[in-house]
Amino acid sequence: MIRNYNIAGFGGQGILYLGQCLAFAGMLSGKHSTWIPSYGPEMRGGTANCMVVISSDLIRSPLVYSSDVAIILNQPSLEKYGPGVKTGGALLYVSELACPKNPLNGVNLWPIPAKAMAEELKLPMSMNMIMLGALLTIDPILSVNEAEEAIKEITPAHRSQLIEMNIRALQAGREYIEKENLAALQPARGRGGG
């Protein structure tokens, strides 16, 4: 089992934190995981992205060239990373902030209204966790519980009030997918993608 993830959006959306939660959850589940942030000039340019790999075997390349899953929180990132999703892979994106302009053949598209959901939760900064909850429900190689543990582990002590909020958002993402009866990646094959 191996999953390569590209996670991208604007700086301030919690992109790197999302990736860290995912990678930590991978580690907590007994798998190998790596996380690499965008660093360099891009750090100052307003966009943020990170690469995560989770694998049951030792990870060779921590760099993600083509992804099994892309989690996208804005339009420029969708244009950059959408075409890099493998055939049969999944593209999760915040439906209010991004929209595929060109057809992505063989890719499962998962538009998630995370912006509205975050506003409903009165947690406008929680789109990242909603997307993570959705991801782990669509592709349950890790459990949402493991992600909760990861959140507890990596949130710094002085920001511990965020733990509960993040877990709520994570659950909201899970419930959205379950409610929409969109469970599991496999049955969804053929959805979207044009």
Partner 1 sequence: MMKGNEAIGEAAIRAGCRFYFGYPITPQNELLEYMARKLPEVGGCFLQSESELAGASMLYGAAAAGKRVMTSSSSPGISLMQETVSYLASAELPAVIVNISRGSPGLGRITPAQSDYNQATKGGGHGDYNILVFAPASVQEMMDLTMLAYELSDQYRIPAMILGDGIVGQMMESVVLPEPVETIPEKSWAACGCQGRERNLVISAPFTDEDLIDLNRRLQEKYRVIIEREQRAEMIHTEDAEFIFVAFGIVSRLAHSVVDSLREKGCKVGMIRPQTLWPFPDDAFNRIPRAKGVLVVEMNEGQMLIDVRLALNGRVPVRHYGRGGGWVPSPDSIEAEMLKLMEEVEKNAVSL
Binding site for partner 1 (CB under 8 A): 20, 23-24, 27, 32-37, 39-41, 59-63, 65
Is 22 or 118 the residue whose CB approaches partner 1 more closely? 22
Q: How far apart are CA 186 and CA 183, in angstroms?
A: 9
Minimum gap (Å) between residue 112 Cβ and partner 1: 26
Q: Do the beta carbons of residue 71 and residue 53 sit within 8 Å?
A: no
Contact between 13 and 48 (Cβ < 8 Å): yes
Phi, psi of 103 (to 5 degrees): -65, 140
Beta bridge partners of 10: 47
Residue 125: other Cβ atoms inside 10 A? 14
- In the complex with partner 1, the residue whose CB is nearer, 35 or 110, is 35
The string of DSSP codes covering 147-167 is HHHHHHHHS-GGGTHHHHHHH
**Least separation in angstroms between CB 63 and partner 1:** 7
Query: Minimum CB separation from partner 1 for residue 94, in Å?
Result: 24
Q: Which is nearer to partner 1, 34 or 166 (CB)?
A: 34
Task: Select 27 or 125, whichever has its Cβ closest to partner 1.
Answer: 27
HEC-encoded secondary structure of 22-81: HHHHHHHCCCEEEEEECCCHHHHCCEEEEEEEEECCCCCCCCCCCEEEEEECCHHHHHHH
Shortest distance in whole angstroms from residue 166 CB to partner 1: 17
Instruction: Tell me how far, at minimum, the Cβ of 157 lies from partner 1, in Å.
Output: 13
Nearer to partner 1, 70 or 109 (CB): 70
Q: Nearer to partner 1 by C-beta: 65 or 99?
A: 65
Largest CA distance in the chain: 46
Q: How far is the CB of 108 from partner 1 (least distance, A)?
A: 24
